[in-house]
Structure 1
């Protein structure tokens, strides 16, 4: 009886230990923003354990404050992915407070040559996500050579799906290049540039992004572009709802200017592909509606 009990105890202990051991085989990745987390999952598949810090689409990323749980996740991460260009400065502070010689950091801004002072919404630049995906596949292949071919195949699959989005954007550019548009913030700025749009009121947008008061002339110029029909689309950050945004949205609607909401984090239930594809489709529908 004692032998049986001892054997059962060993089996139980083995099952307890097996769980963490299996989990430890996965590469731990922490992404500052959930779209980089989604990308890490698409490249790593079943071989990675991904934690995204900014994951609630209803939260304003600019108001984020780090917590002990964030620091704990970073301390055990093998790979950390973040935006850079002053979008997530709290990441630098957390990483410097939690040294780990084995940790690899992938910074999107560094990969595409962006720096402090540039528009930090880099994920809307068509170059960014493919560059981060390639860096992830390379690092995962180094850490887990047994599955390197899987990571390469996943990268090829992502690149193919992203190429379809690029083609969708190119079709819009061919049809609507030069269209004047405006925005409450420069969230969609890089994509608007890729679509060939002429962006109005950029200084106003930067002021709002930096939580400073736009000048009276900037406000007047923005309102004029909506009232006289200069701007054909108003892009707005749907994660930020303040009196200025509400006023401009109403002004746009009153003057028959198309309104398109964009987000800074990936909406729940979406992938990068469906998120971007949906926004491009909405842009096309808005412009098609203006020409009918």
Structure 2
């Protein structure tokens, strides 16, 4: 794991009776650093419409809702645990929804490449990987560009683009969301900033709790997704590289590699098996069965936000399960 620096539905616009005053207030944003995007935002806000935000998954739409409440219309393209973001194919309706947005928020790093391909120059685009301070993101971006947006493949020990499992990055992202929305809706800029600060105070406390676990054992993962969270807990990744390469390329794990991985999981030398329930296969399900039979803790993780949870509640549940597993 690399070192790190701390740190589907379009909804109708709602008309406002204060269009003229909104135009006057928002005209000032034309001199922002990203003037083309700001002017586009001004055009949307000046009509009295809510700012429209489209995100790749419901993880990011939840953060927007916590920062801006009902002052924006936010739509996630992927909003169900039944959908696998790795293999998601955008529809023509998705493209239309994305193109009409004032702000687009995506994960980046090749995870949701379909979003990158559908954005326009007139939109504010927030890329979670780009705003992070994670080491290796530049090399990962170059590799993704060379692949021509054909997918994301992990080299053993390479960059992990599942950055929503990194609490530091999500704090930075939350600040950026408040900043960008505040440039469009200046009258509510302070409200957005205050909401982001309150959320980040909670995330900062959770990061402290996670690091206080001071775990020192290893784990095996059926996908690298929760790596940042597990690293912050003190755990190290013992997953065989050949196993992860096969899983990431969506191919069958070779029998010899499967045996090596199973032996590692059942040997008692790891603290937990990190299991991605949204991308399970027959082989990973068998690995889970073997872990449970051997008394190894299995901690489930997901790509998208579970129903009835906000981001911090979801991450707190993950932290609690990891804490229980390493006791």
TM-score higher than 0.5: yes
- Report the equivalent of 1:11: none
Distance in 2 separating the partners of 1:55 and 1:137: 22
Could you tell me how far 1:55 is from its partner in structure 2? 0.6
Alignment of 1:11-30 (within 5 A): 20-22=14-16, 24-30=48-54
- Aligned-residue RMSD, C-alpha: 1.9
1:222 aligns with 2:222: no
Distance 1:198 1:20, change over 3 A: closer
Deviation readout 1:123-152 (Å, 9 max, x if unpaired)? 112222111111111111111111111011
1:199 aligns with 2:237: yes
Q: How many pairs are equivalent?
A: 264
- Report the equivalent of 2:209: 168
Could you tell me how far 1:217 is from its partner in structure 2? 4.3
- 1:33–1:55 contact (8 Å) kept in structure 2: yes
- 2:66–2:195 contact (8 Å) kept in structure 1: yes
Distance 1:75 1:253, change over 3 A: same
Work out which of the residue numbers 85, 92, 106 in structure 1 matches 2:126. Answer: 106
- Report the equivalent of 2:64: 40
- Report the equivalent of 1:13: none
Work out which of the residue numbers 97, 100, 105 in structure 2 matches 1:81. Answer: 105
- Report the equivalent of 2:43: none
Output the TM-score relative to the length of structure 2.
Answer: 0.76
- Report the equivalent of 1:181: 219
Distance 1:134 1:202, change over 3 A: farther
Could you tell me how far 1:284 is from its partner in structure 2? 1.2
- Report the equivalent of 2:287: 248
Work out which of the residue numbers 161, 173, 189 in structure 2 matches 1:148. Answer: 189
Work out which of the residue numbers 88, 94, 97 in structure 1 matches 2:118. Answer: 94
- Report the equivalent of 2:317: 278
Work out which of the residue numbers 179, 189, 210 in structure 2 matches 1:138. Answer: 179
> Larger Cα Rg: Structure 1 or Structure 2?
1
Unaligned stretches of 5+ residues in structure 2: 1-11, 17-46, 145-153
SS at 1:127 equivalent: helix
Could you tell me how far 1:19 is from its partner in structure 2? 7.1
Distance in 1 separating the partners of 2:69 and 2:180: 14
- Report the equivalent of 1:158: 199
Distance in 1 separating the partners of 2:318 and 2:287: 20
Distance in 2 separating the partners of 1:89 and 1:75: 15
Work out which of the residue numbers 160, 164, 172 in structure 2 matches 1:123. Answer: 164
Deviation readout 1:71-104 (Å, 9 max, x if unpaired)? 1111211110000111011112222xxx352x10
Unaligned stretches of 5+ residues in structure 1: 1-17
